[in-house]
Amino acid sequence: MDEMKASEQNPSCFFRMKAVLSSLLITLLCTPIVNAFGLSNICYVVDGSGNISSNGSLIKISAGGQPSAVKVSDSGSVAVFSGYLNCFMLQPGLDTDNDGLPDEVDRDNDNDTLKDAFEISGSLFSPMTATNPNDPDSDDDGHSDGMEVNAQTNPLDGNVNLRIVGIEIVSNQVYVSYLARGGVAIGKTYVVHTSSNIINLQPSAVATNITPAGGVSPWHVVTNVYITNLATNEINRYYNVSTTP
Ligand SMILES: [Ca+2]
Ligand SMILES: [Ca+2]
Ligand SMILES: [Ca+2]
Ligand SMILES: [Ca+2]
């Protein structure tokens, strides 16, 4: 789409300038003009299942499950489809994640392990939640969009991610509190690991197949607590919480 724009702008610029400037000077002048306006706003319509319109064209959009209609152009005519419009900026030649692939050919602009198409559609989150294809951490909470897919935490809420929020010792018992997702079947269970040595960390699972209950729809955030007895003469112990799969 952007290469087409550049090729359309170059000839018009060339012919406009040809009468007064040499072709070499035209090239020098026109190239930065095209680049300066090369920042494109790419838009997709996303349907109720998180599917985006094919090849970026605004056609074949399912009407299922959408709250309102969006008018889009369909081969020159105007049609009404249901869905939501999602846009992001694409600058040809920019390599957002410095992996050697410019954004226009990189399927994962920001290297957060979520492909651009999934970020636009939001279909890997439940509920469906679009993220920024040009920002590896859309809510700036230190947990990448890809990590938040794995944990099924809200990628647009910087206060919520999978993390331990407290470790307390009360009456010879250890309370390990962590933010989790409860109440709904998301295909994830939680695992608590522990280790006595953070330098040579070799954690072992002490609790598996944890399925927290509760939380408020749609993200069902809960503070879950793992409780264990404090070992005799124990000085240091470290904990880690993860999801499976
Ligand atoms: Ca890249
Ligand atoms: Ca990405
Ligand atoms: Ca992202
Ligand atoms: Ca995040």
The pLDDT tens digits for 164-196 are 999 999 999 999 999 999 987 788 899 999 988
Q: How far is the CA of 16 from the centre of ligand 4 (A)?
A: 48
**pTM of the full structure:** 0.72
Token couple for 121: 């559609």
* 148 CB neighbour count, 10 Å cutoff: 27
User: Which ligand is nearest to the Cα of residue 147, counting in written order?
Assistant: 4
Token couple for 219: 């993200």
Spatial CB neighbours of 93, under 8 Å, sequence gap ≥ 6: 35, 38, 102, 104
Q: How far is the CA of 213 from the centre of ligand 1 (A)?
A: 40
User: Which ligand is nearest to the Cα of residue 137, counting in written order?
Assistant: 4
User: Which ligand is nearest to the Cα of residue 116, counting in written order?
Assistant: 2
| Per-residue pLDDT tens over the stretch 210-235 | 999 999 999 999 999 999 999 888 88
| Per-residue pLDDT tens over the stretch 53-62 | 544 444 444 4
Q: Are the beta carbons of 108 and 114 closer than 8 angstroms?
A: yes
Higher pLDDT, 113 or 12: 113
Q: How far is the CA of 160 from the centre of ligand 4 (A)?
A: 8
The pocket of ion ligand 2, defined by CB under 5 A, consists of 108, 110, 112, 114
- 148: nearest Cα among 197, 215, 157, 99: 157
Q: How far is the CA of 116 from the centre of ligand 2 (A)?
A: 5
- 221: nearest Cα among 165, 166, 160, 176: 160
Give the three-class secondary structure for 86.
strand
Q: How far is the CA of 111 from the centre of ligand 2 (A)?
A: 5
| Per-residue pLDDT, 121 | 87
| Per-residue pLDDT tens over the stretch 26-40 | 333 333 333 344 667
Question: Counting every residue, how long is the chain?
Answer: 245
Q: How far is the CA of 192 from the centre of ligand 4 (A)?
A: 21
Q: How far is the CA of 166 from the centre of ligand 1 (A)?
A: 38
| Per-residue pLDDT tens over the stretch 122-133 | 989 999 899 999
Q: Tell me: pLDDT of 241 over 50.
A: yes
| Per-residue pLDDT, 48 | 66
Domain boundaries, the chain: 2-36, 40-151, 164-244
Q: How far is the CA of 135 from the centre of ligand 1 (A)?
A: 12
d(CA 154, CA 199): 32
